[in-house]
Amino acid sequence: MAHPKIVFVGAGSVEFTQGLLADLFAFPELKSARVALHDIDPERLDTAEAAARHIAAERGADARITAHADRRASLAGADFVINTVQIGMAEATRTDFRVPARYGIRQTIGDTLGIGGVFRALRTFPFLKELGEDIAELCPDAWLLNYTNPMAMNVQYLAQATGLTRVVGLCHSVYWTMRDLAELLHVPYGAITYRAAGVNHQAWVLRFEHDGADLYPRLDELLAREPQLRRRARMDMYRRLGHYPTETSEHSCEYVPWYLRHDSEVERLRLPVGAYLDMTDENVASYHRTRDALATGAPLAVEGTMEYAPQVIHSIVTGTPRTLYGNVPNHGLIDNLPAHGVVEVPCLVDASGVQATRAGSLPPQLAALNRTYLSTNDLVVRAALHDEPRHIRHAAMTDPATAATLTVRDIWRLCDDMVRAHGDLLQPSLRALLADPADG
């Protein structure tokens, strides 16, 4: 694979595309890759192409870069497909927050679980089905590297709706969690040994050592000395559950029923309700800064991001072995989680591809939380696979944060309002409005 073809689907997520390209072109073996950029927004596609050419020049790469408004043209002959699509863009994200807020639902990020995660998945599934069909026809041996959230729902849907097997979901949460923990304890990251497993954004640090010694007691000592550290949701979860969660407090707090429902907990743990709306606005502003800099010839920083996709590609192309974390269908990887659910586990990567490793059983309290998460995911996927709009409501009823806040009657009404708000972004069979059974 001398000149691998790497396709960016959703390349208009320019800042993310820039970081991935900077990482790719940092590898000498990938400097001559063929890079195909696809986006349906012409201006964003033009900006992505200009950014890609700038980064290639800065990195000394002689990559062949092409831009395509036609997705199928971009995919022909691909070896790797990187998916970063956000269906509905910023306006759909604002809807995911604005409509539930009218019912008293608080969300911080809203892209993985909760009402926001459910409807982000439902409006992404039709696209994923088309993408999977195109890959099966045009580049059946390609690896699909998915970054689009909700990660676990999307990978489960891809596996069950398209039949593709070379699919792995990539997320940096485990890596950056361990970097942050090492820095917190003043231990070099390269000197620690760790192992994590669970589900995306709710995996758990099962092993955390330095020179063979468990580092959890040192974390306990630090928490005992630093009361402000205890005012973080993930630290609160760690102290109660015994294992550290692999995502930020902003994410972690909305996958459980204990925090966002209560004013006192929002204050105690300093939970940033609506945080993702600010991130969304900053992402739009960052895109405009990049677009304007490229148009005027102003300096544009070229910075690597240590993301997994470039490492996966490099390992498969060169045979260099690596271990990283991936999201894949369970099928026995974690014994006490559902077989069809998507789990996050260490994966070995080399010339033969991505090979997930078995994690055994999770501690029961951790598996209990992960099973609830996967149950909600499964109902969302089933809604789409079986054209069953009632399963959207069932998913919302099982979601921990939603069920902690609303009555079942309001859950059904909220789902109707979300269906109305997202309209044509959902597959036709799921656009039905359903009368509350209590009214019958």
Which residues are part of the catalytic machinery?
172
The pair of three-digit structure tokens given for residue 351, joined into one six-digit string: 């010339």
Q: Is the dihedral of CA 54, 59, 64, 68 positive or negative?
A: negative
Q: Are 41 and 12 in contact (CB under 8 A)?
A: yes
Of the chain, the end-to-end C-alpha distance in Å amounts to 62
Contacts of 58 (CB under 8 A, 6+ apart): 302
Q: Please state the length of the chain.
A: 440
Q: Is the dihedral of CA 218, 220, 221, 226 positive or negative?
A: positive
Contacts of 126 (CB under 8 A, 6+ apart): 425, 426, 427
- The single-letter code of the amino acid at 411 is I
CA-based max dimension of the chain: 68
Please state, in angstroms and as integers, the Cα–Cα distance from residue 162 to each residue in 8, 94, 152, 215, 216, following that order.
19, 29, 15, 43, 42
CA-closest candidate to residue 354, choices 388, 392, 314: 314
Q: Are 393 and 412 in contact (CB under 8 A)?
A: yes
Alpha carbons 167 and 5: distance in angstroms, whole number: 17
Contacts of 328 (CB under 8 A, 6+ apart): 155, 167, 168, 169, 342, 343, 345, 347, 354, 356
The pair of three-digit structure tokens given for residue 312, joined into one six-digit string: 């996966």
